[in-house]
Amino acid sequence: MLRTPTGGAGSGTASSAGRLMSIGAVLAQLRDEFPEVTISKIRFLEAEGLVEPQRTPSGYRKFRPEDVERLARILRLQRDHYLPLKVIREQLDALARGEQVRIPAPSPQAEPVATVVPERPTATRVGRAELLAAADVDEEQLVEWESYGLIAPVAEGGYEAEAVSVARLVADLGRFGLEPRHLRAMKAAADREAGLVEQVVAPQRRHRNPQTRAHAESTMRELAGLTVRLHEALVGTALGVRLH
């Protein structure tokens, strides 16, 4: 059953009753629990009618504590249950009418529920239907992204779970007018960075000692994280802005 959470970033906002917050302050509140959330994501959820902040006479958004609670709930439903926005909207509308709402539990031992929703993807693979539902995109978009090599199925079938994050980010960039053809350079740069990381860890990954191979996987994840942070810092430096 969907209930108002008693902990986490969302509940902390309710203690500031009556205080209106800017979108930047809301972002800071949410990022403790949702480090990947962005201002563009919040604006998109507003454009989709999922949250309705107040507006000052000059047009600035001002969020109430209950708006932040609602945003946190939406983000949890996306992150923990991979629900598309249409289903989330239906859930929230039902709650507003005082109805009881059931959603699938995130654990694999969850009991069957009456509402049919997309199953949460596994840790390593997602199916095509799961990817479309989790990223909240349609078939036409996915086909276009595949044609530009931004997303590709694995040889065994299905997609890597990380394809969900890629799809969401490509969709977010698209709302700013960046088309898939514009993103090919980013994909090419990512492939080059991945190749560099693989060169560093390749000897260890081929080692006969299982501990050495395990260490190689750990090193690869650490290197991948460092390259992402470096890329972010370089983009910020090139633009002359602070990204955090």
- Express each pLDDT in 67-78 by its tens digit: 999 999 998 888
Q: Answer yes or no: do 148 and 198 share one domain.
A: no
| pLDDT confidence bin for 9, thresholds 50/70/90 | very low
Residue 113 pLDDT > 50 = no
User: Which residue range forms the structural domain that includes residue 174?
Assistant: 121-178
Q: What is the pLDDT of residue 44?
A: 83
Tell me, yes or no, if the pTM score tops 0.75. no
For 16, the token pair is 């500031």
Q: Is 67 inside a domain boundary? A: yes
45: which 2 tokens?
């959820």
- Let me know whether 244 and 194 are in one domain: yes
Q: Tell me, yes or no, whether 30 lies in a domain.
A: yes
* Domain count within the chain: 3
Residue 113 within a domain: no
- Whichever domain contains 41, its CATH number is 1.10.1660.10
Q: CB-based contacts of 221: which residues, under 8 Å, 6+ apart?
A: none
Verify that 162 and 188 share a domain, yes or no: no
CA 71 to chain centroid, in Å, comes to 13
Task: Note whether residue 152 is domain-resident.
Answer: yes
pLDDT at 57: 86
**Whether residues 236 and 167 fall in one domain:** no
Of the three residues 62, 96, 130, the one that is the final residue of a domain is 96
